[in-house]
Amino acid sequence: MKHKTVSNIIPMFIILLFAIGIASLVVGIRPDHSPPAIPVKDTIKIDHWDLWTLALIEVESNGNDYAVGRTNDWGCLQITPVLVSEVNRIQSARKFTMNDTKDRVKSIEMYNIIQDYYNPKHDLHFALKIWNPMAPVSYHKKVEQEYIKLLNTKYGTTNTQIR
């Protein structure tokens, strides 16, 4: 009986890996256990988080980057000085000011810093509770309606409900 040595096992291992790879292709299993890729032309990747943020911007300021609210909140997302301080506390790589709230990109960046910190799973409804904790149900409904409108307009869906 021949003893198994490293030199005998390595070729067998390579053949086994090759066989698994071929079998995976036949049955549609990928080595990373993800489902087989669907051709891009047959699918639409919807970024719900970005759409939700755009809906929030529309409700908060009607899309106006220079909007000024009743309680010293500025910009498209109606950011307050307290929120700017909290963003600066969470991250120290860059310091934001209230003037940054007039810049849509910086406002969204601050929004995402807060959400990533307190809402890392990006739960859409929890995002509203964090952003405007005292808001009535009607506020949540407005953001939902705007989100559905954007979803239907941008992607041509007929969705009437939140995922």
pLDDT of 17: 44
Q: What percent of the chain has pLDDT over 70?
A: 69
What is the per-residue pLDDT for 28?
43
Alpha-helix runs per DSSP H in the chain: 6-27, 48-61, 81-90, 104-118, 124-131, 137-155
Report whether pLDDT(147) > 60. Answer: yes
Other Cβ atoms closer than 10 A to 55: 22
Can you read off the two tokens belonging to residue 113? 């810093």
| Percent of the chain whose predicted confidence (pLDDT) is above 90 | 58
Phi, psi of 79 (to 5 degrees): -85, 135
Q: How confident is residue 142, by pLDDT bands cut at 50, 70 and 90?
A: very high
User: To 5 degrees, how large is the angle CA 20–CA 21–CA 27?
Assistant: 85
Q: What is the pTM of this model?
A: 0.69
pLDDT band at 68 (very low <50, low <70, confident <90, very high): very high
Tokens of 152: 């239907």
Count Cα atoms within 13 angstroms, Cβ side, for 97: 1
CB 90 within 8 A of CB 66: no
Q: With a cut of 80, say whether residue 106 has pLDDT above it.
A: yes
Exposure string over 124-147, b if 16+ CB within 10 A, otherwise e: beebbeebbeeeeeebbebbbebb
Q: Flag the least confident range among 21-30, 56-65, 85-94, 100-109.
A: 21-30
pLDDT at 81 over 80: yes
